[in-house]
Structure 1
């Protein structure tokens, strides 16, 4: 029986409300059509597009009954070496598995039958089952019952899928993840197993590694390709006769890293969460190579060294990540664990100009801004229409946030597109239209951007402890003939954050009369109250107070919003400044000042 968490329909935070005509306009960018999606396909890198087509053409051949049987296996009874796996699992999740509750991708199935493709299971649920990441949770649970369950489920998978190709069991990304977890958790569940089980496990792992070496890159890109390569590299170091797989993995890695890791140390997908995942995978590959006595390539060490300080740029005071481009906050200790294993001792970068993020900090106040062009075609699966969006934290408390990203699964499915919208970010929205057009057709393209700002400028200035950012993007130039300018100034003590949002009108026929909304999404722990004299009083959970005042907008309101920083939906509040453009556009100035408690 399936259990899904209940979530409400998207509120006004992330979809235009159907009322108040004075805020709306008939001049709204039309939904993208077939030609827009075709143009986005043409913009995708040719090598990536051809790789995806080639892999799809090969799938019927791989589905033939004899394909897997012809893949060379292994007769070994023990791996040559085992990779270190210090990452913590979820003991509660492991205990639930032992009790027969299988919760993956936001969906819980009790005693699923048939185990690997039960009724009601989503594709995400099945992918997580076949990837075997849950072995880490069983390890955290520990005990003989968890170990026996891990062995029995692995044996059942080998019997059911070990000699025939099918999806999602043999999808390249799933295979790479499964090899990583089989090797990483081998000591926990396999080393004490019977010799027949260990031989069957290593025989199947060798077949999977041969398959993976044949098909990669298989149309994968970005962090997904690195994750699949990690599985091939681990199999190549751990299994007898795996030298050819390791050589293939390192060749792919050496070719990919200079393309994926930008000069400022940021990952090309521009997502803090994807950046974290790639750095963790690279650290795992390096540790496994050291354990096997293999010298890591210089490109691997260089990538790890450059990614660490940029990961720190994405950290708020609580240690978690900024909510940009499909990211959740993550637990601070897990982010710090990756940084420690990467030996990233340098201070955080304040500016990542190639990746397009800025961090300004004074006193206990931190401001993080997405000040770059969205990820390019083929790497924009997690890209949001949040150009010039900002987040603000004070000490370990978050004040202004973006909506974040829902967890995987059916419960969050209807939210995924909504939270990618510009209105789900703390920035300006023009005519309730996204600053980057989102793909609506899943076939082949998947989640992506059809149109995006072509030019994003950012100028940074620092003097005597104060910092100024001057930014602009042209995401509204084509549909409305308008440019969004944003200036942010943080005073030396961190108690004074001032901003200016300005819309420059290039084409009055398109732009005049359009409504705009400047949103400040608040963390759920922040309390907000409108003041009779104007402005809004914001109270942090630990008692700190901030006052927001604004000039130039027609209206300031408090409205509902939603927060997915932890993956689950939480109700919260947003401050919204409304108005309309005239022939000169608009200029709205606002300020956030810390409230001092009188003695």
Structure 2
């Protein structure tokens, strides 16, 4: 049966009746391993401030399908992952949580393209199982206890029909997690659990690269998938089932790659639609992974590089873009980099847009929203109308070296060759003390092509131009000051946006602009930490 035929069947009035069947008297397992809820988010929900995916809806009416909301907001609301945030508040939030579940049960028995999408169903199943006793564990909750079990049984039956085909990529792994949890908790046949684990192993082989990176090349997806796999392992432990070696091995590969993407503030780098994420959640994922593997300096299959010296960290996208099927949120940021020093982010990419305005999403995905050279205000990778990637660099190269503690990489791509006749090469060099980052941006091709090297700054960085030298000073929250100098292009300071926290914030960017000559163009720049006056060498009067 084709996907379109399946979807037409799901939408018929008869379909909900096919989900009825036996209902167990109780859950067969309890999950003691869980993620910490966020009390502040829970309090906001109780106050009617429902914020997901960059959209804030106050006191939604109707509660489950308010008009005008984006699909990502609706998916998060129907997924009930926020249930842990209410539970984190304490006993006072449990009655409101029960009321919301009862409301959902009474209004959402029929299929809906978002509320009953396989990844959303899976998220809801898992949340209800994890918090089942807090919600329906009292004697006075017996009616809700029976209603939740009946609904869980129906949702698991539905997921058994849709998990393996409805979605692709990371959402399919989420769907399989929900199916495994539901079958284990409700007493599914062991043979079905084994088949679902086999389907999961096939997905892991297809989605996780040998270095542990997910094919979406998105640090937020890296975190989400790792969490899902940790949850699956917890379900198998609680059910006293054997943990397959492929599952354990993938967890052990993915955790070091998550560390790879973590800046000094313990949050994630911004590539291909990611946001910073919650530092506590990242820490907890790494702890629960039970993996001690350190972050690699390079991830060749994933296409990322790190320069790490002293307190400075540079993360570079030096790989091929996400392949078809994993590219619907991917960015045109080839050779973009981010720089942090200690807990301070300095140079950033704009980050992934969370919200329903497609125009903003296209802006965030553009090459110009990344700290990289852009030719002719054009994307190095085509972003098609359907969100997938089109024309992309045919050749991307990268090499790295280290000597006496200094680290260097050189990378290039030909994404501008077809339209502009240009090949772009970026070299980055970080000194051993981490306080001097130097770069060279080179275009090889025809004359008369306009370009701009963009350095987007974190909103906490205060930037000012230095009139006498044509450079810029960057003051960090820690009080440290960095000086940027450049040659071969005109330096200016402009406005930018920052989406790393999940909301739109204003910030600044430094732009090095120019036009290629007969030999192309070469721009050299240096970003050095200024020594405090007390540490500068004394100047002799003699």
Could you say whether these structures have the same fold, taking a TM-score greater than 0.5 normalized by the shorter chain as the test?
yes
Q: Distance in 1 between matches of 2:370 and 2:416?
A: 16
Q: Does 1:528 align with 2:473?
A: no
Shift of 1:518: 0.3
Q: Distance in 1 between matches of 2:47 and 2:457?
A: 39
Q: Does 1:130 align with 2:78?
A: yes
- Indicate which of 514, 518, 529 corresponds to 1:583: 518
Q: Which residue of 2 aligns with 1:33?
A: none
Task: Verify the 8 A CA contact 2:332 2:365 in the aligned structure 1.
Answer: yes
Shift of 1:413: 4.6
Task: Verify the 8 A CA contact 1:176 1:227 in the aligned structure 2.
Answer: yes
Q: Which residue of 2 aligns with 1:466?
A: 406
Task: Verify the 8 A CA contact 2:398 2:409 in the aligned structure 1.
Answer: yes
Q: Which residue of 2 aligns with 1:398?
A: 345
Q: Which residue of 2 aligns with 1:267?
A: 214
Q: Does 1:544 align with 2:489?
A: no
Q: Distance in 2 between matches of 1:382 and 1:526?
A: 28
How many residues are aligned here?
532
The worse-fitting range, judged by mean Cα deviation, of 583-592 and 76-85 is 76-85
Q: Which residue of 1 aligns with 2:315?
A: 368
Q: Which residue of 2 aligns with 1:189?
A: 135
1:382–1:596: structure 2 CA closer, same or farther, 3 Å change rule?
same
Q: SS of the counterpart of 1:388?
A: coil
Q: SS of the counterpart of 1:451?
A: coil
Q: Distance in 2 between matches of 1:318 and 1:76?
A: 46
The worse-fitting range, judged by mean Cα deviation, of 331-340 and 126-135 is 126-135
Q: Which residue of 1 aligns with 2:29?
A: 81
Q: Which residue of 2 aligns with 1:597?
A: 532
Alignment of 1:301-450 (within 5 A): 301-407=248-354, 409-410=355-356, 413-441=358-386, 447-450=387-390
1:366–1:110: structure 2 CA closer, same or farther, 3 Å change rule?
closer
Q: SS of the counterpart of 1:197?
A: helix
CA deviation string 1:436-470 (max 9, x = no partner): 111224xxxxx221222232111011111011101
Q: Does 1:452 align with 2:395?
A: no
1:451–1:191: structure 2 CA closer, same or farther, 3 Å change rule?
farther
Q: SS of the counterpart of 2:42?
A: helix
CA deviation string 1:242-269 (max 9, x = no partner): 5355234312111111111111111111
Task: Verify the 8 A CA contact 1:74 1:240 in the aligned structure 2.
Answer: no
Shift of 1:589: 0.9
CA deviation string 1:102-128 (max 9, x = no partner): 333344444433322233433333222
Shift of 1:400: 0.6
CA deviation string 1:27-66 (max 9, x = no partner): xxxxxxxxxxxxxxxxxxxxxxxxxx93232111122222
Q: Does 1:478 align with 2:418?
A: yes
The worse-fitting range, judged by mean Cα deviation, of 558-567 and 101-110 is 101-110
TM-score (norm 2): 0.94
Q: Which residue of 2 aligns with 1:517?
A: 452
Q: Which residue of 2 aligns with 1:256?
A: 203
Task: Verify the 8 A CA contact 2:309 2:434 in the aligned structure 1.
Answer: yes
Q: Which residue of 2 aligns with 1:4?
A: none
Q: CA RMSD in A?
A: 1.8
Alignment of 1:151-300 (within 5 A): 151-162=98-109, 164-192=110-138, 194-300=141-247
Q: Distance in 2 between matches of 1:558 and 1:96?
A: 37
Q: Distance in 1 between matches of 2:494 and 2:514?
A: 16
CA deviation string 1:220-246 (max 9, x = no partner): 222111111111111121112353552
Task: Verify the 8 A CA contact 1:476 1:482 in the aligned structure 2.
Answer: yes
Q: Distance in 1 between matches of 2:43 and 2:533?
A: 51
User: 1 or 2 for the larger relative contact order (CA 8 Å, sep ≥6)?
Assistant: 1
Q: SS of the counterpart of 2:2?
A: helix
Q: Which residue of 1 aligns with 2:540?
A: none
Q: Distance in 1 between matches of 2:359 and 2:196?
A: 37
Task: Verify the 8 A CA contact 2:459 2:506 in the aligned structure 1.
Answer: yes
TM-score (norm 1): 0.86
1:92–1:74: structure 2 CA closer, same or farther, 3 Å change rule?
farther
Shift of 1:194: 2.8
Q: SS of the counterpart of 1:449?
A: coil
Shift of 1:85: 4.7
Task: Verify the 8 A CA contact 1:172 1:218 in the aligned structure 2.
Answer: no
Q: Which residue of 2 aligns with 1:10?
A: none
1:345–1:472: structure 2 CA closer, same or farther, 3 Å change rule?
same
Q: Distance in 1 between matches of 2:456 and 2:57?
A: 34
Q: Distance in 2 between matches of 1:101 and 1:460?
A: 48
The worse-fitting range, judged by mean Cα deviation, of 78-87 and 275-284 is 78-87
CA deviation string 1:307-354 (max 9, x = no partner): 111111101111111011111111222111100100121221110000
Q: Distance in 2 between matches of 1:346 and 1:406?
A: 31
